[in-house]
Structure 1
């Protein structure tokens, strides 16, 4: 059972890393496309990515790329989802350990 729990811990950490890297990437892509008046990433997709664990990547992308920082639903919504993600991941990791 210990090997299973160790692997589960690694999988959870890998998921956190991958989903946040993806979230950061889509914020960069959306900013790039915005500047060129091209097709954009739908806000719904950004929020879904944040809810499934990528909120920190979205928030980091917002700050680094200065993208969507003036929209209230992003300005207040994404930090709230970051907190929910932290609580959820802490709970999952606590249950594994």
Structure 2
């Protein structure tokens, strides 16, 4: 369970960085749906950190407020689950 959470968060973080890289170079982008699916599948913390580190998707309200909220729920879930 712990390995899954770590893997999903690293993947979501990486995907945020990759999408930012592609956006700067005007290349084919990663769909927002994919970023949200990764977040809901357990990578919300990594996606939220990636959003701030790469300064990506910060203008979109749904990402700016939704990802941190989802990440907080994920932290609560991990905290309750791992006790």
Tell me if both proteins adopt one fold, taking TM over 0.5 as the criterion.
yes
**What number of residue pairs does the alignment pair up?**
83
Match of 2:23 among 21, 34, 37: 34
TM-score normalised by L of structure 2: 0.92
Q: Structure 1 residues 39-48 or 83-92, which shifts more?
A: 83-92
CA-based RMSD of the aligned residues comes to 1.0
Q: Between Structure 1 and Structure 2, whose CA radius of gyration is higher? A: 1
- Within a 5 Å distance, the mapping from 1:1-97 to structure 2 comes to 12-94=1-83
The runs of 5 or more residues in structure 2 that have no matched partner are none
Runs of 4+ in 1 over 4 A off after TM superposition: none
The runs of 5 or more residues in structure 1 that have no matched partner are 1-11
- Partners in 1 of 2:71 and 2:41 — Cα distance? 10
